[in-house]
A and B are shown apart, each in its own frame.
Chain A
Amino acid sequence: MTRKALGKLLVMLFVLLVIAVGCSSDDTGSNTESDNGVNDGAESGTLPEMTDDEITLTYASWKNHELNEFLADKFMEKYPNITVEVVPLDTEGWNDNLTNLASTGELPDVFWYNGNVDIAIRNGWLGDFTEYFEADPETEDLLDTMVDPGYFDGERKMAAATDYFPYAVFLDENLFERMNVDMPSPDWTYNEMIDLIQEMTVPEQGIFGYNTGGKLLTIAPIVNQDAVGEFGWDGEKYDLTTDWAEAANLRAEFIRSGVHAPLFDTDEAEAAFGDREIWPASTGKVAIQIDAWWTVGAFSEPEFTDKGMKWVPYVVPKGDNAETENKPAYIDFGTISPATEHPREAYELMKFFGWSKDGWEAKLEAFKTMEDGNGNLVFKHPDGLPLIKDQEIWDELRTLLPDSHYHDDFLERAKNPVSLGGRALPGFETFLGEVYFGGEYGDVETAITNGEVNAHDIAPDLTEKANEYYEAALEELNY
């Protein structure tokens, strides 16, 4: 066979294979609205009965695996005919792992998606459980701000909040005492926090006003504009032109002027702390750390207390003219696979692991009793806060926290969480990737910090683009 003939043969073979792939691909056609429906059997206003048949449900979330197994056992005690299999997935690349499962038709019946709802929307992973949710009496008990998220198109409930960690502002009480500055009221306001940050900045003593995990430009629009999402999201559109822009410029000014602790791995960090990679909050030279509730446990460790720090939690302050108590929070969302054969039961499972009272009672039991191999409690602090208003659950959870009025104050004011963007707002994460962090301005926040652009100048353009990405994502939802 000549080389030319062999070449022709290979090309023909390849073309035939492409045709074969095209014909063999499992193309199920366009995904219409009804394709996502999992409400079969649900009547309007009535939650259908659970099945008595022996069934198996699969569940995947990145919560502590032992906790998941514990809750699965409790669920199976309640519903002995249902077997729950917790699907162990590597937390790293969570959505990639879900994609792999979906490609083999093994997407769990109930699962959490990580951070970016756009992936779930594009691939049609979100089941529509509107009628169950709306007919469920327990929905009434959900925190008020947690009912609407998941109605991505305003009509269909396709995801529900399943885990809640609020933003938390930690103040080093000992440092405040040393500086003779009074601790603020638990009902402090945004401007009071800004003033306090500036007051506590004492360059001659090497003390920085604040350090961030959470950012002012995330907080400001939510607390000042009464927004229900990042970037001034009011439920229908974004608006970055007011509080976001103001906070972005202020943040940049604070970083440049040394009010904000030096950023990680910079010469400024080395000059200030003698270690460019140290976490400023562990140096004793930072007055306020804007962070999240999961840090509350870490701050009571000897690493901090032995150095003379006493970090106490405050809720994110209220906007000075705000009407709501909305505060940013890390909310994780779960959903039901549109392919599940048991949607009613899958809904119940999602609720049990996320927000039902029974589920929370089981969780509290796990927090109190689960021990590791050495007989130590697995959870030194409760893992997250309840998504429901039930006071008994909140009171019970309070008993697991340190005895301090700061914790009382915090819990009393942590019942209006607002989810960060990517989890709850279609198009948000794609906007971040293609415009906010990688568009014509480069990384917008860095550009503002470096003085290359003024936030007010670019805010209208960003607002327009953010709203365009939202609209585009909605089109994907109806693909």
Chain B
Amino acid sequence: MKIKRHTIYGYLFILPWLIGFLLLVMWPMAQSFYYSLNSMRITPVGLQFRYVGLNNYLDVWLKDMFFLQELLGFALNTLLRVPVIVVFALIIAVLLNQQIKFKGTFRTIFFLPVIVASGPVINQLIDQGATSIPLVNQDIIIGLLAQIFPLFIASVVADLFSQIIVILWYSGVQILIFLAVLQKIDPSLYEAAKIDGGSSWECFWKITLPTIKPIVLINMVYTLVSLANSGQNPIIELIYANMFDATRGYGFASAMAWMYAIIIGIMLIIMALAFRERKTKRAF
């Protein structure tokens, strides 16, 4: 079989990424999977493994009282935060797509938190209360919500208010993605709609939204993954804590990480199914 020259060029161009992917993603993943099947000890003379099969996976569900609890909290949080972030990003992107002065400056301002507020910076800001709106009284919100919902739901919704600023800070990349696709929409579509008497509101619902629907899915996936990997995510902290726990260690933590990854994967599949392109039935 003769390999075409441009195919070789293609592979050469992605070779650095492939090497990086193999070394920095596939190898650690394979390591963590191997660890998850073992009870592991980090001795001064090297790592020791004792094969335990799927026991670590069972223990994640049967012995760790926090995993399920944190997982439910995360699912509920995600259910609330993903739409908030994506809708906010869409609104801002639509606004920034208008012909306004200082457009570049505004775009920079909205993207800046992505660069500035990461890792320890965001932790400091949260600790100092800079990510909540002082006028929003948390206790009153919880009190009101608790009259309608069970407390664990009420506290999650109230948490949304208390961290509203940091949640919106997560929307920088999504705004950028929406902006890119909004600029790709053919202006003649809007022009034709206007000629036919369509309002801006109708244009948004009939042209903009259907056109960018696949990108909404991409942004939802991006948001879910970034929330799942966030340093503020308690499950990530739980996995870290278990890594260094006396009776659990890397094997247990790896199993927990894999279980978590599978659950995130299931959430992504549900999301993809909900937003998949449906073939329109044609009437004959």
A102's partner among B29, B43, B50 (CB-CB below 8 A) is B43
Are the CB atoms of B244 and A96 closer together than 8 Å? yes
A316 CB contacts on chain B under 8 angstroms: none
A124 touches B47 (CB 8 A): no
Task: Decide yes or no whether B33 CB sits under 8 A from chain A.
Answer: yes
Asked if B1 is at the interface of the complex by the 8 Å CB criterion, the answer is: no
Beta-carbon contacts of A13-43 to B below 8 Å, as 1s and 0s?
1100110111001111111000100000000
Contact of B31 (CB < 8 Å), options: A21, A118, A476: A21
Residue A438 interfacial (CB < 8 Å): yes
Q: Are B41 and A25 in contact (CB under 8 A)?
A: no
Which B residues from 14 to 50 make CB contacts under 8 A with A? Answer: 22, 26-27, 29-31, 33-34, 41-50
Closest CB in chain A relative to B117 CB, distance in Å? 22
Q: Is the interface of B mostly helix, strand, loop or mixed?
A: mixed
Choice from A14, A119, A338, A476 contacting B44 with Cβ under 8 Å = A338
A414 to B54, CA, bound (A): 51
Number of CB contacts from chain A to chain B under 8 A: 92
Interface residue A139 (Cβ < 8 Å from any Cβ of B): no
Bound CA–CA A189/B135 (angstroms): 53
User: Is there an interface contact between A17 and B47, defined as CB atoms closer than 8 Å?
Assistant: no
Q: What distance in Å separates the Cβ of B276 from its nearest Cβ neighbour in chain A?
A: 16
A18–B47 CB distance below 8 A = no
User: Does any Cβ of B come within 8 Å of A339's Cβ?
Assistant: yes
Contact with B along A110-146 (1 / 0, CB 8 A): 0000001011011111000000000000000000000
Partner among A20, A26, A29, A430 whose Cβ is within 8 Å of the Cβ of B247: A430
Q: Looking across the interface, which residue of chain A has its beta carbon closest to that of B44?
A: A339
Is the beta-carbon distance between B42 and A99 smaller than 8 angstroms? yes
Residues of A within 8 A of B29 (CB): 14, 17
- Contact status of A21 and B244, CB under 8 A, knowing A27-B49, A102-B43: no
B249 contacts chain A at the CB level, 8 A cutoff: yes
Closest-CB distance, A121 to chain B (whole angstroms): 8
Quote the shortest CB–CB distance from A469 to chain B (angstroms): 9
Quote the shortest CB–CB distance from A254 to chain B (angstroms): 29
Flag if A116 contacts B246 (CB, 8 Å): yes
Residues of B within 8 A of A13 (CB): 22, 26
Q: Which residue of B lies closest to A101 (CB)?
A: B44
In the complex, what residues of B have CB within 8 A of residue A18's CB?
Answer: 30, 33-34
Would you call B192 an interface residue if the criterion is a C-beta within 8 Å of the partner chain's C-beta atoms?
Answer: no
Q: Which of B45, B50, B244, B247 contacts A95 (CB 8 A)?
A: B244
Interchain Cβ contacts under 8 Å between A and B, 26 examples: A13-B22, A13-B26, A14-B33, A17-B29, A21-B33, A21-B34, A22-B34, A27-B49, A29-B48, A30-B48, A31-B48, A99-B244, A102-B43, A103-B47, A116-B246, A118-B246, A119-B245, A119-B246, A121-B246, A122-B246, A338-B45, A339-B43, A339-B44, A430-B246, A438-B65, A476-B247
A residues neighboring B (CB under 8 Å): 13-14, 17-18, 20-22, 25-31, 35, 93, 95-96, 99, 102-103, 105, 107, 116, 118-119, 121-125, 337-339, 429-430, 433-434, 438, 476, 479
Nearest first, the 3 closest Cβ-Cβ pairs linking A and B are A118-B246, A17-B30, A339-B44
